[in-house]
A and B are shown apart, each in its own frame.
Chain A
Amino acid sequence: MEASENRLYDLTALEKIFKRFEGRKDDILIPLVQSIQEEYGWLPKEALRLAADHFRIPLSKIYGVVTFYSQFYLTPRGKHLVRCCRGTACHVRGSKRVIESVEQKLGLKDGQTSKDLTFSFETVACLGACALGPIMTIDDEIYGHMSPAKVSSLIDEHLRRDKDESANR
């Protein structure tokens, strides 16, 4: 159920980002792509091409950097990002089973995004809330002491909130 790169995006926001990095040295590459991703949620190929032209950085170099770091995405992301921690403390407290239940619930494997772009799922090396593991996050919300049983209801809750939001609009 992986998503393809068919989504409209507005490239005018790029101008503003480029301006912020104007005249700086070649060390801007990572903060630059971080800003682009912050704007779009992922890194559209077109945006990277424009960045390469603008700052005269070879596109190959940009590609090298964005594929090296796990934080960068070259495909569109879902509206909600579900992340599970697979750090050591979470692991010994059974995060594997939490991850499996998320995979089952969303029908997604680690790193995938649903076709309708509702959910993306990924595992993270460590979210640093080890004392309260297993940890799961949905967007900006963080949940501790996770169990397979809690996964389903938390995800449903977020879906319900979406529904309420669109109903109120």
Chain B
Amino acid sequence: MRVQTVKELEELRESLKAAQKYEKEIVVSANATCCILKGSKPVVEAFQSELNKLGFTDKVKLRLSGCLGFCEIEPMVIIKPLGVLYQRVSPQDVPEIIKETVCGEKVIERLLYKDPVTKELAKGMAEIPFYKKQKRLLTERHEWIDPTDIRDYISAGGYTALSKALFYKAPDAIIEDVKKAGLRGRGGAGFPTGRKWEACRNAKSPDGVKYIVCNADEGDPGAFMNRSLLESNPHSVIEGMVIGAYAIGATKGFIYVRAEYPLAVKCCRNALEQAREYGLLGNNILGSGFSFDIEIREGAGAFVCGEETALIASIEGKRGMPRSRPPFPAISGLWGRPTNINNVETWANVPLIINNGADWYSKIGTAGSKGTKTFSLVGKINNTGIIEVPFGITLREIIFDIGGGIPGGKKFKAVQTGGPSGGCLTEKHLDIPVDYESLTAAGSIMGSGGMIVMDETTCMVDVARYFMKFLAEESCGKCVPCREGIDRMLDILTDITEGRGKESDIALLEELGEVIKEGSLCGLGRTAPNPVLSTIRYFRDEYIAHTRDKKCPAGVCKALITFSIDEKKCKSCGKCAKVCPTKAVSGKKKEPYRIDKEKCIKCGLCRDNCKFGAVIVS
């Protein structure tokens, strides 16, 4: 069904809304990678068969939404209009949910979210601490939308911004709005989006062709906000892109998705087909005379392709190597034409600005950073998942109020932001506001939104080495400082973690880091030393312990630790001996067990399995 005018779109929306008037609704977070991993599929099947069996399919709507953010408690089920949220639902719970809650409007306490600290039960999303401090502008609609069905997006108010832009706004006025709203690139660097668009709009193309690209090459390890958004609400991104293309004067767009996200690719492909079918993409969109289409390009596994000039090379079918700028892609990008590249989340913010106005948008956030930002809150933290918060919130609020603190009573040590280009922030940074400038000043960066929390059992030297290893593998090899420099830094860090380090290595790392930052061609190399430099800056004592004392205080670096058993604590249960893969642990009943240091491979299984905390790492 092709929608030809704005009027037809509004009529369609009204008829969809009318058709969606069910007495009851069951929302199951089912369509994103994380929920599937947590077992949402059997839950959905159980609901389907139970509703069929009872003949409720006309009365009760079963909506399969995307990601609802709180991965740890998936699969989640929301019963409307009651608003009850059930967590960790299993197929066995389904008949009871339908009988008690859907029909009887009674709450099943066992399935409610229970605050691990206060033990309070939360009835709905609004009562769960994880959601309380969030400001969900992009993600709040996820529960209303089945990402595989464009009709859900339309009936939830989708594509209103597009018709507003195409019929009531001149391209320059849209760019002015985006500038006034203060939207900045969500991919990491935070360049003002409106200025980028303006440069591309004003650029001359030899044949009038201009391109836009959605950068969905979410390569930062530990970040998955873009995947979650594409899997949950792909049309918000597509709508943003069409508006952007109209403002810039582009006729063709690309979504460059990394191949490691098969479900996101599938979801986008399906969304594009549906948008085309409904006349919201393709020739003469909504009868406006404006034509624009989008093609998906799958990445092939190269981190550097997140850098815009490398991404362009990759779309052109070449090795994904960056080139020096200028000329910037806005002047000369894909096939030499003016090209505008924005991140997934940046595009998804555009409809919000057009719908609600620049003034509304610019009131959210801080002086220099407007709107909200999604983060993936992961690592050693209780409540893991995707969060959306206004700029200006503190790290403490994110980690302790939303994230629920550190598991197992352990102590917070650091939070890593900005992926391999970022750095580690410490306890003393917990109260700084999260915005582009403050994080940079503290020695990290905003980045695309990965937030990896580390506790006292994380070794910072090991983390620094981890990032160098990652970057050494991902450096494209084009420029010498990055290719050779990162390898050298990795060598030095390997030596340090394996007990061959010297105290003077720390200064050498700092010196090398500065050279790589200065001399590298693209953003990958220019930011590569950050994880090392920031950990040296804030955790120098750990580097000294590794090099001078040959000790790993966190008990991670294998060459620097030994495993032994505390005779007083050992209850001779024999569990450690059972799990040891090299038979290094031995003992008899009623006598403390022992670890043979020759045979021990320091895998840590004995420590993990000891209920009495008798395995000591020193």
Binding site for B on A (CB under 8 A): 26-31, 34, 64-65, 68-72, 86-94, 97, 100-101, 104, 124-133, 135, 142-144, 147-149
Contacts and interface: CB of A to CB of B under 8 A. Distances in A.
B227 interface: yes
A129 B224 contact: yes
Contacts of A87: 221-222
B302 A70 contact: yes
Given A92-B454, A149-B579, A129 B34 contact: yes
B224 A128 contact: yes
A129 B228 CA distance: 9
Given A86-B221, A88-B450, A30 B300 contact: yes
B23 interface: no
A86 B462 CA distance: 13
Interface string B127-163: 0000000000000000000000000000000000000
A149 B474 CA distance: 30
A126 B300 contact: no
Contact of B34 (A93, A131, A149): A131
A141 B466 CA distance: 26
B286 interface: no
B215 to A, nearest CB: 15
A92 B603 CA distance: 15
A135 B34 CA distance: 11
A62 to B, nearest CB: 10
B304 to A, nearest CB: 9
Given A125-B260, A130-B224, A132-B38, A34 B298 contact: yes
A124 B260 contact: yes
A92 B458 contact: yes
B222 A130 contact: yes
B220 interface: yes
B419 interface: yes
Contacts of A133: 378
B316 A148 contact: no
A91 to B, nearest CB: 5
B37 A142 contact: yes
Interface in B289-343: 297-303, 314-321
Given A31-B298, A131-B71, A126 B318 contact: no
A100 B603 contact: yes
22 contacts: A26-B317, A30-B297, A30-B298, A70-B301, A71-B300, A88-B416, A92-B380, A92-B452, A100-B603, A124-B260, A125-B301, A126-B219, A130-B384, A131-B377, A132-B384, A133-B378, A135-B37, A142-B33, A143-B37, A144-B38, A147-B608, A148-B605
B165 to A, nearest CB: 29
Contacts of B466: 88, 91
Nearest to B477: A68
A128 B33 CA distance: 9
A88 to B, nearest CB: 4
B400 interface: no
A126 B378 CA distance: 13
B316 A27 contact: yes
A83 to B, nearest CB: 9
Contact of A89 (B222, B315, B608): B222
A92 B463 contact: yes
Task: Pick from A28, A69, A86, A93 the residue with the most CB of B within 10 Å.
Answer: A69
Task: Pick from B450, B454, B476 the residue with the most CB of A within 10 Å.
Answer: B450
B72 interface: yes
A129 B37 contact: yes
A120 B194 CA distance: 47
Nearest to A68: B319
B604 A97 contact: yes
Interface string B553-595: 0000000000000000000000000010100000000000000
A147 B377 CA distance: 21
B411 to A, nearest CB: 14
Contact of A125 (B376, B454, B474): B474
B134 to A, nearest CB: 15
A53 B260 CA distance: 30
A148 B608 CA distance: 10
B300 A92 contact: no
Interface string B455-497: 0001000010011001000101000000000000000000000
